[in-house]
Amino acid sequence: MLSQSDNELITRVGAGTPAGELFRQYWLPVLLSSELPGPDCEPSRTRILGEDLIAFRDSSGRAALVANACPHRGASMFFGRNEEDGLRCVYHGWKFDVAGNCVDMPNEPAESNFKHKIRLTAYPCHEVSGVIWTYMGSRKTPPPFAQLAWTLVDEAHTVGTKITEDCNWVQVLEGDLDTAHASFLHFRGKPGGVKQLLEHEQGPFVDLLFTEHGFTKAARREVPDNKYYWRVYQFIMPCFVLLPATGSSVSYRVAVPMDDEHTMFWNGTYSPTRPVTDDERRRPGTTGYCEYLPPSTQALGKWRYATTADNNYLRDFAAERSGELFSGIPPVKPQDIAMTESMGPINDRTKEHLGTTDAAIIQMRRLVLHAAKALRATGTVPTGVDNPEVQAVHSATLMLSRDVDWIAASKDALQAKPGQPLATAV
């Protein structure tokens, strides 16, 4: 469990909060490139780290992210005219470029230099592999861009999408670090299978290797022929997870806080050795066989699954009783969302009781809390900010004899080098 003070510290992400300032050290994904389909397209509302922002693409095709409120009288820049390399507030005509500079102030005298004293808050953007990233920290020159494995491959080798979740970012991240729940929550089968699951599932042995990027987690299960089956995950500070590699691809997850009670969950796939397939391009947008609700233009009204708390996530009691679905909820992501949202907007971790398979969750909290406190107390820059090369790692699946060390066996394959094939047992 966590103390009340630590639970507050890790979950609150607004400007000036320890966790919020920690996140502001890193480059974070904020939009799919397709959300700004072309130069001078319609602006888009978004929210990240408790800030309401407006995204637009200027006449030169550059992506921009600026404050919602015009610095003149606070009108929303969402209604701004996107024209001639800038966004012009329609209230009084003040116009701003992608860097937030006021480039025109038509309601002031021509001889006035007032426009040179006014800025619209703007955050630098970097676009790669179909995703627009932003840096929201205080540095005038942003840190080097992230070197996460899916940002290092050709755009044809990766695909991703987003899902809005109504809960704190820590709950979403913990779900992706939790190995043991998959056997139960995501179980599909026949009635006898449920009985066998409950009688024989022992949960995996979890081993952790602490690294410069965060940690590597290996979940071990016993299999025939005197072997162990290892599923190797990666946690990369502060909110990135690689699920175990399968075949020649890896699924990545990112839990980006929109505010204290809402998370933008990024779900994607990449391959270091081949383009993603048509099936892989379909799956991220329909994870769990669930469709999106029609989007609104509001920041919290987009990227929402049709399985919601209001319809009990389409829980099917007949499928649950028959054993077809252990939870009765359509697989897979809706099942995860149901569990994390059911904890409430912010889980009270002072009341929890963690077990041995929760080792990765415990260590993630320790790393984030330590980094946030060190940044607040001494200004210590967290890992991966100025040395993003440590983020360049893969995950793996391994079938090894029981006398083989999984760390030694996977060391080379876990480095994300150009064209580096994945280590996969299945």
Strand partners, 249: 246
Residue 212 reports pLDDT greater than 70: yes
Output the six-digit token pair for 76: 């929303």
Confidence label for 159 from pLDDT (cuts 50, 70 and 90): very high
Report which residue type is found at 107. N
199 lies in the same domain as 329: yes
108 lies in the same domain as 206: no
Domain-embedded: residue 364: yes
74 lies in the same domain as 180: no
Residue 260 lies in domain: 149-410
Query: Over the stretch 22-72, which tens digit does the pLDDT of each residue have?
Result: 999 999 999 999 999 999 999 999 999 999 999 999 999 999 999 999 999
Domain-embedded: residue 168: yes
Considering 111, 135, 159, which residue would you say is the last residue of a domain?
Answer: 135
CATH number, residue 183: 3.90.380
Residue 288 reports pLDDT greater than 50: no
Structure pTM? 0.94
197 lies in the same domain as 279: yes
Which of 134, 173, 131 has its CA nearest to residue 153?
Answer: 131
183 lies in the same domain as 271: yes
Residue 187 reports pLDDT greater than 90: no
84 lies in the same domain as 202: no
Looking from the CA of 191 toward its CB, the CA atoms found within 13 Å total 3
Considering 85, 104, 135, which residue would you say is the last residue of a domain?
Answer: 135
Residue 321 reports pLDDT greater than 60: yes
Considering 135, 162, 177, which residue would you say is the last residue of a domain?
Answer: 135
Confidence label for 240 from pLDDT (cuts 50, 70 and 90): very high
Average pLDDT over residues 209-234: 94
pLDDT at residue 231, rounded to an integer: 93
Torsion over CA: 369, 2, 136, 337 (sign): positive
More confident residue, 281 or 408: 408
pLDDT at residue 43, rounded to an integer: 98
Distance CA 37, CA 360 (A): 39
198 lies in the same domain as 158: yes
Query: Over the stretch 64-109, which tens digit does the pLDDT of each residue have?
Result: 999 999 999 999 999 999 999 999 999 999 999 999 999 999 999 9
pLDDT at residue 375, rounded to an integer: 98
Query: Over the stretch 367-378, which tens digit does the pLDDT of each residue have?
Result: 999 999 999 999
158 lies in the same domain as 63: no
Domain-embedded: residue 16: no
68 lies in the same domain as 154: no
pLDDT at residue 397, rounded to an integer: 94
CATH number, residue 37: 2.102.10.10
Average pLDDT over residues 144-160: 96
176 lies in the same domain as 122: no
pLDDT at residue 420, rounded to an integer: 81
270 lies in the same domain as 214: yes
Confidence label for 285 from pLDDT (cuts 50, 70 and 90): very low
115 lies in the same domain as 166: no
pLDDT at residue 202, rounded to an integer: 67
Confidence label for 198 from pLDDT (cuts 50, 70 and 90): low
Average pLDDT over residues 384-413: 95
Number of domains in the chain: 2
